[in-house]
Amino acid sequence: MKNDTKNLPLRNGVGIVLLNKYNKVFVAKRIDNPKNFWQMPQGGVDNGEEYLNAAYRELEEETSIKSVKLMKELSGLITYELPKNLLGIIWKGKYRGQKLKWFVMKFLGDDGEINIKTKKPEFCEWKWIELENITDLVVDFKLHVYKEVQKKVKKLLIKRF
């Protein structure tokens, strides 16, 4: 299996940059990673599912959040490859990484709506952070993804104000 990993496809996925009323970004700490790495909500796209519908579904599945407004669909897909030690483990070994479509959403609710203790919890903690800090907390193999998302969201916020 290990030799065939280069031929594995990339998984279609979505990522959500969730901004609160102060334009702080929602991040959460994964249950399955004991280190201090945080991520924005993200997940896979089901067969036949539209990217935006997948983003709303993933956000609700991971955080219970429904009160959002779409601000922007970021252009293009951003890919990452899994490190060798995770190949064959994550996603039951079916994929070598992900290609993500990112969406920027405004959170319209209050923090009481956020519940990460879902049916299949992925996170153990969550918090709001400044956009500038999202690259400080992410796992190494996703750093380039977060830098690109950060740059695009920064431009979006500058245009809006």
- pLDDT for 15: 98
Arithmetic mean of pLDDT, 60-66: 97
Beta bridge partners of 20: none
131 contacts 153 by C-beta, under 8 angstroms: yes
Instruction: Look up residue 119 and give its two tokens.
Output: 């049916």
Q: From CA 151, how far away is CA 154, in angstroms rounded?
A: 5
Q: From CA 39, how far away is CA 34, in angstroms rounded?
A: 13
Burial class for 85, CB neighbours closer than 10 Å (0-12, 13-18, 19+): exposed
Residue 1 has pLDDT above 50, yes or no: no
Q: Confidence class of residue 131 from pLDDT cuts 50, 70 and 90?
A: very high
Average pLDDT, the chain: 93
- Domain range for 31: 2-160
Q: From CA 158, how far away is CA 150, in angstroms rounded?
A: 12
The 3-state DSSP class for residue 100 equals strand
Residue in the structure block whose two tokens are 């955080």:
63
Max Cα distance, the chain (Å): 51
Arithmetic mean of pLDDT, 6-15: 92
- pLDDT for 32: 84
Q: Into how many domains does the chain fold?
A: 1
The CATH number of residue 73's host domain is 3.90.79.10
pTM for the model: 0.92
Which of 33-47, 59-73, 139-153 comes out lowest in average pLDDT?
Answer: 33-47
Residue 6 has pLDDT above 80, yes or no: no
The percentage of residues in the chain with a pLDDT greater than 90, rounded to a whole number, is 81
Instruction: Look up residue 105 and give its two tokens.
Output: 């959403």
